Chains A and B, each alone.
Chain A
Amino acid sequence: MKLRLIASLLTLAWASASLAAESKEDKMQTDQTQARYTRKSITYLGINVAGGLSVDEEHLKVIEEGYRKQLELPRFDYNAVSLAGVYTIDQFVELLREYVKKVSFDRAAAEAEYEARFKSARVYMKDIERIMNSAYFYTLNVKTFKSGPWVCPENQGKGGALLNLFTFQCVPGTPGVMTELDVSATFYRANLTDPNKPPYELIKDVTWIKTMEFTAIVPPAPPAPGAGQALLEAFQRALAEFNASLPQRQHEASLANTMKCAKNQGEILARELKKVPDFQLLTPVTSALSDGVEFMLGTKEGLALDDTYEVGEFDVAGKKTRIGFVKVRKVNDNTGSGEGTPSYAEKVKENRKFVGGELMAEWPMLKLDFGIAAVFEVVFTDLLARVNDSGDKKMGFYPGAEIWAYKDMANIFKLPEFYLGIDADFLLVASEDQYSVYLIHAMVGAEKKWFANSLMFTAKLRAGISYYAVSYESGDSYEGDAVGFGADLGLSVQYYVNPHFQPFLKVTGRFFTNPLDESLFADRPMEIGVMAALGLNMEI
């Protein structure tokens, strides 16, 4: 009886002590309102190829290299472990589990025994410790791979031709090599210590749509009919050389395409990876300044200029409210433990005044702008030199639409919010005569943005060509000069709804030459005017 009583008392004492311990552990922990990204170590476990798919070693190596370069973000430590041919994931995790168990009884013996066993997979004790402290693994899985000769399709109409031109930069009928690739990256977290749980759990299978790349391999063009014997012989020699080198060129093109596909899809997978809660960068605002915030992330986490962060705060019920967005302007070397200089981000939207301590969460983006706008151009002199009733030259008013795609180049030029890209606009120069004119501008441009709480001001300088597509009612096509040159400068004000949508109003001053055929259009006024645009800029 006495023994029972003592046992009960001991149990009670131990239980109360355990409760106290939990509360202490809890007290020392940070809750989610002040969560912070902790550095993870990741082990790459190799590449798997889907059943029924055949990928040669050379292509597999290129695929692996391309994806790993994109997916192995600076925020992770990578363990130099190669399990291929030595262990499966299950075997490796099982071995680690055994090690953890044994090391707690006899460290020296366990280290001696397992060092030898792990060495076969080039795993060293320092790797083991890192793996055990943050046991994440990932594999690459090739789901689709096709690469071979392909001819840019013909007979798909104008729309199809344009689509091919835009998608693959190929003109119908062009031969070359087409590569299709689809790879996913699967991330696991190992359970090294609890034998009652599965050896690992799936964190996320990061996937995206398949990517395709085309490289043209154009044979030498035959000489014009009636060309001399010398030209014909030269052509035949060139053709023979081309045919002899064709397999090698196709192989090289295939490898290059594969690398491009891997890079492109890998970049998107990396963005998706950054959205996974385990890997998302989180940090509290350390100082709220009048125009921005300071925070403790830096070069070690791979912080980059123009990265976007959501700023949120919590109420007493634990509900998170988004109160704004910031964009990174200065990347410093803060290590997160209070050493080094904090990084700085500018406020781009502030729904409630930042007071410090708010939680910043990474908002992963490819930093690619695109969009569409309705435009209306006014030129001082009508491009077709038409006159009004009194015989004076009249102004021109042309409605149309504009599209663009711009890439953020801040990290290359070390200039925040600096973009380079391409634009195209389509204007209808309506005519009462027997023809219609479609005026198309294709330009390359540079854009700089400035922010002032929810408003963005941009200046965009573009230069390019103008193309006049004249179509007659009779069906005849216009064959004269069609391409002009010029530039314009646009100033816009945008409203920052969120990182993805910004409606805007833009005014552009424009100067382009008029390339219309002198024989048809006696007077060819320059395209000098102003274009107003109302549209939506989207960023992904």
Chain B
Amino acid sequence: MKTMSLVALVVCGLWTVGCTTVVVQPQPQGPEVLLPGEFIESVDANTVLVKCSGKGPDQMAAINNARKGCLEWFIVNQLSATQEERQAYQTNQQKLFAQLDRYVNLPPPGASDGKGKGVKSQVRLSDTEIKVDIITDVHKQQLQDDLVAMGIMKSKSDMLEAVGMPTILVQPSKANKGLKARQQMESAVTEYLTMNKWEVKDPQGVADLNKMIGALGEATGAEEDEAAKIAMAVGADVYMVFEALQDKGADGGVAYGAMVKAYETTTSRKLGEKQVIGPARASWKAGEDMKAWADALRDATGQVVPQIMGYWKEDAPKGNRFTVVINNTPKGADIKVSNGLKRACAFVKVTLSTAKTLHLNAQCKGDNMEVAGALDEILGGLGGEYEFGAKSGNLLLVNFK
């Protein structure tokens, strides 16, 4: 009997040990490594379409892995401008992934008529792993707000307090000025920017615009000279020039190539440029032509804006940029004005000095009125009568009589 009990005990013991295998899930060491994404298009001001890849043992796991990839790629490449922000994201990666549904849509089932959102491709990599490519929506605004709330990124208002948001002017290129749809095109770009809470300047509201442009002369040296002068006149920090070119195929299809360039007004430095061609549409259907250019323009604008932001976040803390134009300059004014402004500004550069005209670029901590005050002091010492033709956001125009 004892032997039987002993045997039973041993069997029970072996049974318990043998069958209660504890599965220990390996804890991820550090942030997950994900495949990169690709920008497809800006659906609207709050949503972008992104293509990503993911791996997993089954389709659902691979899709979720791809969605994480979309989220990470968008944060790292489109939203965060500084290394600190990227590091803060890496630290909070798992917290964000836990709320994946808030930021990245589950792609619709199937391939959605071949184009647009959905699972675009699925291949088997090994017996236990498949890879999928998806195109899906990223809720940009939602994500941005949450990142700010979590302290991962600075909010726009924080940034506004710190450096001020750039004001933007939108102009068609020379080639597009005569287009019938010019106004609608301009509206498409402006609408995108205003929905993103950018301040867009309207040249129609500026009195004596032509007079001011005339007073600026031809010396800006900018690639898009006229747009640059208008931007200075209206006080826009950045000006964007768009161009849409129609390509009509022999097959009756129509596609538009849109090009959007952004320049810093004071220096005419190119901040960003994007060329996009929207998918071809059937020209025989009413409204398709308009959809074709709107799609391309919105896309291009959406991709230039982060480039402007990246630059602005870096540059704006150094101070506001100004262009100073002095007409009918008294003799020796260039050295005196340059040296005088250096006391108020971190950076001053004479870009043009002729017998009658003096152009300077300056980056100063003060606003336009403070810099105008400093300039007034310097000009007062030069002798001669003068008046300010403009004290706009970034243009100080002085005319000596």
A residues whose Cβ falls under 8 Å from a Cβ of B: 13-14, 16-18, 20-22, 24-25, 27-31, 33-36, 38, 99-101, 103-104, 107, 129, 132-133, 192-196, 283-288, 296, 313-316, 318, 321, 336-338, 342, 355-358
Contact = CB atoms under 8 A, between A and B. Distances in A.
Contact of A25 (B62, B113, B251, B280): B280
Given A24-B277, A30-B112, A314-B124, 8 more contacts: A14-B245, A17-B257, A27-B38, A34-B110, A101-B252, A288-B59, A316-B124, A337-B112
Contacts of B323: none
Interface stretch (B67-75, B207-215, B281-289, B375-383): B281-289
A34 B253 CA distance: 25
A321 B122 CA distance: 13
Contacts of B116: 28
Given A21-B255, A24-B40, A356-B58, A34 B111 contact: yes
Of A16, A21, A107, A284, chain B has the most CB atoms within 10 Å of the CB of: A21
A194 B283 contact: no
Contact of B130 (A16, A338, A355): A355
Nearest to A313: B124
Contacts of B272: none
Lowest 7 A-B CB distances belong to which pairs?
A: A21-B277, A356-B59, A193-B251, A355-B58, A30-B111, A357-B59, A286-B109
Given A16-B275, A356-B60, A29 B132 contact: no
28 contacts: A13-B259, A14-B245, A16-B275, A21-B276, A21-B278, A24-B278, A25-B279, A27-B51, A29-B114, A30-B112, A30-B115, A33-B122, A33-B123, A34-B120, A35-B111, A103-B252, A104-B252, A132-B282, A193-B253, A284-B119, A287-B109, A296-B109, A313-B123, A314-B123, A318-B123, A337-B108, A338-B110, A357-B59
B114 A30 contact: yes
Contacts of B115: 28-30
Contact of B113 (A196, A287, A313, A336): A336
B280 to A, nearest CB: 7
A127 to B, nearest CB: 13
B279 A28 contact: yes
Nearest to A356: B59
A286 B125 CA distance: 20
A283 B122 CA distance: 13
B166 interface: no
B286 A107 contact: yes
A337 B123 contact: no
- Interface size of B as a range: 35 or more
A103 B62 CA distance: 46
Contact of A21 (B109, B113, B251, B257): B257
B124 A315 contact: yes
B122 A284 contact: yes
Contacts of B41: 24
Contacts of B60: 356
B59 A337 contact: no
B135 interface: yes
B252 A336 contact: no
B121 interface: yes
A24 B245 CA distance: 17
A34 B251 contact: no
Contacts of B276: 17, 20-21, 24
A100 B284 contact: yes
Interface in B77-128: 108-116, 118-125
Contacts of A287: 109
A295 to B, nearest CB: 8
B110 A196 contact: no
B250 interface: yes
A192 B252 contact: yes
A207 to B, nearest CB: 31
B348 interface: no
A312 to B, nearest CB: 11
A316 B283 contact: no
Given A103-B283, A107-B286, A193-B253, A33 B58 contact: no
B122 A314 contact: yes
Nearest to B108: A338
A22 B277 CA distance: 8
B373 interface: no
Contacts of A28: 40, 115-116, 135, 279
B114 A36 contact: yes
A349 B201 CA distance: 66
Of B38, B119, B135, chain A has the most CB atoms within 10 Å of the CB of: B119
B233 interface: no
B43 to A, nearest CB: 12
